[in-house]
Chains A and B, each alone.
Chain A
């Protein structure tokens, strides 16, 4: 790996300060990088800290949450040192984001065109007319044949899949270097899900941008990602290339996730193979955070939390089974 990463996250901690002095460690010491043009997937169950990680990169964490430690470096510049104003020039321009709920992610009282044009005009020095032409062009690119009409329509006139297309058009309008997609297809019909993910992959090729793809669907990871991070309890528990995660699974949690995938060969009874649920972020077990649910739990797992170690080249695991 000779190239410099596009985005480098080190020691990121984002905590939520709850009532009665409890602290939810939603993201608790996360390190990873994304290379230019690559697709990095983050997988993990609900509550494992995927969304908070991505919102931290955008610095869109609201109270009572706070980024308390770490560095987030985009092309050699630490984003956490930027002022609010400087960040607003980066959001939407260098890093764009799309969300899970296309039904509520667009402002209901403005037209699609208005919302795309406003993004373009915020970051690029263009006239209203040029912005409009660009918006129509973008809508055509994301698959609206009658783009000239769509710019005058309101979000409620579009279906969920169409809204997500419009969101994608908006997100790529300034040709970002990194697109963060937080479960972009989860809320959609199964038939539409693949279309949206294919569209993202196509846009990635076209614009040569990197994608941080958040999902809890390992099937999606297999098809669209280059590398994958497995998150549990606000930490990364396994990190490797996509082929490795399926053929050379190491962490018991990853094994559990894979076992819960429906597949033709397996008995359907094995679905949902991990027993129990994710512990809440303000009361993790003392040792390894997965110890309360791990089938291979050992004594030392209950005493201290293992580090994330590189056990094979380009394959990191946080588990005492491997050191």
Chain B
């Protein structure tokens, strides 16, 4: 098993390298740089000044040199200074928001799982029942309704009309600490969490349903019944673990979907996470911030996949030994 995990981590390294190259190249391919917009905005400033600034920022260096500068300092957690927020480092901007996005992602994944897995199991045990059809319909509705629209509906009813949940932000009184502030954070996370979480529910539910159905029809389930196992043991011991194996793989894939959904959801709820920062930085051409966030999201996806693979090897002994 350790061999497998080590091998898997070794694959992680070239992928990380490829990721940095892609992020860097994409940033270069984007038209203009941090100073392009400003020269148009203010025709009174001598273009010479911008040229000097470019030189000073290293924007005129050959690309490989620029890449090396960026990557080597990024490796030490230094993404440079923001071009827009004067005097603040990129790391400083990102730090607080990173945690917010991570919490939102985990919370919505939690919601996805506690909703979809039980419904998927139930649908598989009673295929073509009323609840099965209902869940399928509900799931496709969830797939069809865009995330931001669902978010707006949730804000309108649950926040504005009923006033149950705050519609934006992460905290009502900044600076509060302790358990109260934890609950406050959770309270703020409910609407964006549900919005983001329900988006993934349909996929997981359909997967779970078909996996459980598949496993229930397998030979080893017949064996378990033939040796007198009760339905509970058949379902929770023999079926569930096998059915979850592909779900873990799915989770690895879906992390990217989750994070891109987070970017939009955060925007709808004005939730101060990486997503909102990312969008404002793109608009402001704050390239160091854009590159840093793209890299971090990419790394999160890679780590998610790595964790999924490791978890997979724990659940499925066939992966562990070879």
Interface residues of A (CB under 8 A from B): 58, 60, 62, 84-85, 88-93, 96-97, 99, 101, 104-110, 118-119, 122-123, 154, 156-157, 167, 170-171
Q: Which residues of B contact A (CB under 8 A)?
A: 217-220, 222-231, 233, 237-238, 241-242, 245, 315-318, 321
Q: Is the CB of B220 within 8 A of A122?
A: no
Docked CA distance A101–B224 (Å): 14
Are B228 and A93 touching (Cβ within 8 A)?
yes
Closest B residue to A90 using CB positions? B228
Cross-chain contact A104 with B220 (CB below 8 angstroms): yes
Q: Are A105 and B227 in contact (CB under 8 A)?
A: no
Q: 12 new A-B pairs (CB below 8 Å) besides A89-B228, A109-B242?
A: A58-B225, A60-B225, A90-B228, A91-B225, A93-B228, A101-B219, A104-B219, A105-B219, A107-B223, A118-B227, A122-B227, A154-B318
Is A58 touching B226 in the complex (CB atoms < 8 A)?
yes
Q: Which of A84, A89, A99, A122 makes the CB contact (< 8 A) with B223?
A: A99
Chain B residues with CB under 8 Å of A108's CB are 220, 242, 316-318
Residues of chain A within 8 A (CB-CB) of B241 are 109
Judge whether A109 and B317 touch: CB under 8 Å: yes
Interface pairs A-B: 8 shortest CB-CB: A92-B228, A92-B227, A104-B219, A91-B228, A154-B317, A107-B220, A97-B226, A119-B227
Asked whether B228 lies within 8 Å of A106 as measured between CB atoms, the reply is no
B213 to chain A, nearest CB (A): 12
Q: How far is the CA of A58 from the CA of B231 in the complex (A)?
A: 15
Say whether chain B's binding surface is mostly helix, strand, loop, or mixed.
Answer: helix
Query: Is A154 within 8 A of B321, CB to CB?
Result: yes
Of B223, B229, B231, B321, the residue contacting A106 (CB under 8 A) is B223
CA distance A109 to B242 in the complex (A): 7
A105 touches B229 (CB 8 A): no
Residues of B within 8 A of A62 (CB): 217
Asked if B227 and A99 sit within 8 Å, CB to CB, the answer is no
Number of A-B contacts (CB under 8 A): 77
Q: Report yes or no: B218 in contact with A104, Cβ–Cβ below 8 A.
A: yes
B124 to chain A, nearest CB (A): 13
Q: How far is the CA of A118 from the CA of B218 in the complex (A)?
A: 19
What A residues does B238 contact at CB under 8 A? Answer: 107, 110
Nearest neighbor of A102 in chain B, beta-carbon distance: B219
Q: Is the CB of B226 within 8 A of A96?
A: yes
B219, B229, B242, B321: the one contacting A99 at CB < 8 Å is B219
Contacting residues, chain A, for B233 (C-beta < 8 A):
118
A119 / chain B contacts, CB cutoff of 8 Å:
227-228
Complex formed: what's the CA distance from A68 to B245 in Å? 38
Residues of A within 8 A of B220 (CB): 104-108
What are 22 A-B contacts with C-beta separation under 8 Å? A60-B222, A60-B225, A84-B231, A88-B229, A92-B229, A96-B226, A97-B226, A99-B219, A99-B226, A104-B220, A105-B220, A106-B220, A106-B223, A107-B220, A108-B220, A108-B242, A108-B318, A118-B227, A119-B227, A119-B228, A156-B317, A156-B321
Distance of A107 Cα from B237 Cα, bound (Å): 10
Query: In the assembled complex, how far is the CB of residue A180 from the closest CB belonging to chain B, in whole angstroms?
Result: 9
Q: Which residue of A is nearest B228, CB measured?
A: A92
Q: A104-B218, A109-B242, A109-B316 are in contact. Are A88 and B228 (CB under 8 A)?
A: yes
Which B residues are CB-close (under 8 A) to A96?
Answer: 226-227
B238 closest partner in A (C-beta): A107
In chain B, what residue has the closest Cβ to A88? B228
The residue on A at minimum CB distance from B220 is: A107
Contact of A91 among B226, B231, B315, B318 (CB under 8 A): B226
A63 to B: closest C-beta gap in Å: 10
Closest A residue to B231 using CB positions: A84
Most buried by A among B222, B228, B317: B228
